[in-house]
Structure 1
Amino acid sequence: MRNIGFLSFGWWSAAPGSRVRTAKELMDDTIRLAEAAEDAGMDGAWIRIHHYEQNTSSPFPLLAAMGARTSKVELGTGVINMRYENPLYMAEAAGTADLISGGRLQLGVSRGSPEPAADGPGTFGYPLPVGKTPAEDAAERIAQFREAISGAQIAAPGAHAHVRAGERLPITPQSPGLSERIWYGAGGNESARRVGELGMHLMSSTLVAEATGEPLGTVQQRQIQVFRDAWRDAGHAGEPRVSISRSIMPIVDDATQMYFGPHLKRDRMGANRDQIGELDNAVSTFGKTYVGDLDKLEKELREDEAVMSADTLLVTIPNQLGADFNRITFGALAELRDRLSS
């Protein structure tokens, strides 16, 4: 493992104890989270994208602001539901944000997960075409987006376009290298294989759409190998990257003990373990929470096959506790990366 970053679910709430109570506070605090991660020596600041909920939903203005206030950390999404997106407009927004950040975007995309709206994409103006599945619809949008950010000639020129005969118009602005930094959130082996064939990087979260009774890391490690084999067999250049998400709660002081201590108690009682459940009509494996001091976390994570195989570990954080609280754990997470990389 070479990189560690945070993944913020980006919730805001006026509930008791929340330090991120409004949408405005969320935006300001997420920028501060990115700054805190960079100051602590972490490698990435990633945000989750969901619609019709009180959380981050429109990534590119926020990513651009995070990019303007930092200089080193990768800035990512986990993940953009492509069924809500106009691929060409998204290509413009992504190119703009990537240029502002100096080429640090790492964009995770997918067909999306269950959301509150009965037909969210339809209300955005993108109803599911007759005869297509959601996965097929998303795949077409992803392909068009990737083509656009690669500099392809997209639009036929009008009478006053300044292009040579036979040329078409590309999407602008273009940001060099962005097309090589697109990830896909895969839930199982078949989607992982397809990601490798298409030459995108692989994101795997704290759950997978498979339930064998084995630990989550074991199931995910097979998914990672399927992806890497497919990438190699397709003959893609460059290095295939893999990110794994985990819930990790370092206990380093009185504040983290107060908030994370109850999870540690459950862990000691044996109640903290991987779970089998159902999501989106699929039986799935849900990962446990890693909690404790750095010695305990290092020992347990070394036994997680997927974590040790991936190049990037994304740690889900309690963003409603605010940037000041999360800043406490970021230094510990950077040290944990160094330990696991040695």
Structure 2
Amino acid sequence: MPAPGVPLQKLGFLTIGVFDDADPRAGHETTLRVIELGEELGFDSAWLRHRHLQFGISSPVAVLAAATQRTTRIELGTAVTPLAWENPLRLAEDLATVDVLSGGRLNPGVSVGPPMHWDDVKAALYPDTADVEDFSYERVARFVRFVDGAPASGFRGKEGVVEEWSDRVQPHAAGLRSRLWYGGASLRSAQWAGENGLNFLTSSVVKAEVTEDFATEQAGQVQAFKAAHPAGRVSQGLVVTPTDSATPAQRAKYEAYAAERTPRTRSPQGPGRLMFAADLVGTGEQIAEQLYAHAGFREVEEVVFALPFSFEPEDYVQILTDIAGTLGPALGWTPTA
């Protein structure tokens, strides 16, 4: 995406699926309806983010399994599944099953590193093995091998009268390996994803390693990934909120939400020196102009725009409708019929 005039190839959206603790079903149903709407509007993909021990979707795999039965075309992804919470073999089985149900539309995104609030959750998550769990890239590599069909057992064959055992994950989802993504925020993660043949998800959070300019840092990571894996897919995820059809009350809410989050974008945050991208609020044309000026955006042909958290269902309908109807076309994107 070097300049205006080069069309955006794929357009998706990301949600965390907020729900009310007193009525969790309603929030999950809203998420499924948002995915259905995305397909109706012509989006290429819909992605869910994990929110463990919060009031957002803790099991995207289960929700996406439901979504496979309510959609027919749109690609479905996780952005991202933190593998520190998962057994790689069991996750490979679950994802393969959902991919089969979807007809080959699943795009699992994963990441590694210790779970957030590790000291608070490790006794519940790994009561016997917390001190020896491996949260390095090897955990991802093990997961990838299982998805790819590597042996997971030393036994295969018939046992008894009817039981037939396989030595690899079943069902085996042909093509799923090529649709695995790694979500990274550092230069090393971008390089590692490329070197290991994964696709690369870069979001609204990156580490300040070379510069304190978010767009420049992100562009450098994407370039490093492309150098390591020229044929790989890379997608950028920023928070964008078009206001073309928004009511005055919605515009005011969106602007206040972005303003509250703006201070964290002015300098690297915490010991990890994390940099956050500013939320983009405005008309589709205004946001398109800002994106074309963004060094990170100019390196990609796919985007997965993140929906703001904690908004009402009607807000998401308006935002998605404006992304598909105004912002996407301003970026040269064409909805899928």
Q: Given residue 250 of structure 1, which amino acid in structure 2 is its aligned partner?
A: P
User: Could you say what secondary structure the match of 1:75 adopts?
Assistant: strand
- Alignment correspondent of 2:190: 192
Q: Distance in 2 between matches of 1:323 and 1:40?
A: 16
The residue correspondences of 1:196-215 to structure 2 (distance < 5 A) are 196-210=194-208, 214-215=212-213
Deviation of 1:100 after TM superposition, in Å, equals 1.0
| Letter of the structure 2 residue corresponding to residue 63 of structure 1 | L
Contact 2:9 2:302 in 1 (8 A): yes
Name the TM-score, length of structure 2 as normaliser.
Answer: 0.85
Is the CA contact (8 Å cut-off) linking 2:83 and 2:110 kept in structure 1? Answer: yes
Amino acid at match of 1:50: R
- Give, in whole Å, the separation in 1 of the partners of 2:308 and 2:206: 22
Equivalent residue in structure 2 for 1:222, among 197, 220, 223:
220
Name the CA shift for 1:223/1:254 in 2 (closer, same or farther; >3 Å).
Answer: closer
What letter is aligned with 1:329?
I
Once residues 188 and 76 of structure 1 are traced to their aligned partners in structure 2, the CA distance between those partners, rounded to angstroms, is: 21
Q: CA 1:107 to 1:82, structure 2 compared with 1: closer, same or farther past 3 Å?
A: same
What secondary structure is seen at the aligned counterpart in 2 of 1:296? helix
Partner of 2:17 in structure 1? 10
Deviations 1:179-200 (A, max 9, x none): 1111111111111111110111
In structure 1, C-alpha distance between the alignment counterparts of 2:134 and 2:269, rounded to whole Å: 20
Aligned partner (choices 278, 281, 284) of residue 269 of structure 2: 278
| CA distance, structure 2, for counterparts of residue 261 and residue 2 of structure 1 | 32
C-alpha deviation, 1:212, in angstroms: 5.7
Indicate the residue corresponding to 1:56 in structure 2. Answer: 57
After superposition, where does 1:230-249 map in structure 2 within 5 Å?
A: 230-232=228-230, 239-249=231-241
- Structure 1 distance, partners of 2:88, 2:246, is 47
Deviation at 1:301, TM superposition (A): 0.9
Return the letter of the residue paired with 1:62.
Answer: V
Counterpart contact for 2:146–2:168, Cα < 8 Å: yes
Match of 1:316 among 280, 286, 306: 306
Which residue identity lines up with residue 71 of structure 1 in the other structure? Answer: T
Distance 1:159 1:109, change over 3 A: closer
Supply the distance in 2 between the matched residues of 1:246 and 1:193 (Cα, whole angstroms): 21
Aligned-pair Cα RMSD in Å:
2.7
User: Superposed, which structure 2 residues align to 1:104-143 within 5 Å?
Assistant: 104-112=105-113, 115-116=116-117, 118-120=119-121, 122-125=123-126, 127-130=129-132, 134=135, 136=136, 139-143=137-141
Letter in 2 for 1:27: H
Q: Does 1:259 align with 2:250?
A: yes
Q: Give distance in 2, aligned partners of 1:302 and 1:122.
A: 47
**TM-superposed deviation, 1:266:** 9.5
What are structure 1's unaligned runs of at least 5 residues? 15-20, 233-238
CA distance in 1 between counterparts of 2:28 and 2:180 reads 24
TM-score by length of 1: 0.84
Identity %, equivalent residues: 27
Q: Within 2, Cα distance between the matches of 1:27 and 1:263?
A: 23
The answer to whether the aligner puts 1:306 opposite 2:313 as a matched pair is no
Partner of 1:100: 101
1:337 aligns with 2:335: no
Return the offset for 1:203. 0.9
Q: 1:6-58 deviations in whole A, cap 9, x for unaligned?
A: 111222246xxxxxx63212211111110011111111111111212121111
**d(CA) in 1 for partners of 2:295, 2:157:** 59
1:293 pairs with one of 283, 289, 312: 283
| Paired AA for residue 52 in structure 1 | L
Q: What's the CA shift for 1:320?
A: 3.5
**Bigger Cα displacement from structure 2, 288-297 vs 204-213:** 204-213
1:206 and 1:50 map into 2 onto residues whose CA distance is 17
Q: 1:100 to 1:158 in 2, by over 3 A?
A: closer
1:153 equivalent to 2:143? Answer: no
Aligned-pair CA distance for 1:227: 0.7
Cα distance change of structure 1 residues 149 and 254 upon mapping to structure 2, 3 Å threshold: closer
Whether the aligned pair in 1 keeps the contact of 2:44 and 2:74 (CA below 8 Å) is yes
Once the two structures are superposed, what CA deviation does each residue of 1:124-165 show, in whole Å capped at 9, x if it has no partner?
Answer: 2374454x763x2xx233222211111223212268449xxx
In structure 1, distance between residues paired with 2:39 and 2:106:
15
SS, match of residue 119 in structure 2? coil
Deviation at 1:71? 1.3
CA distance in 1, matches of 2:257, 2:320: 23
Relative to structure 1, the CA distance from residue 181 to residue 159 in structure 2 (aligned partners, 3 Å threshold; closer, same or farther) is: closer
Question: Which residue matches 1:33?
Answer: 34
**Are 2:245 and 2:322, in contact at CA under 8 Å, matched by a contact in 1?**
no
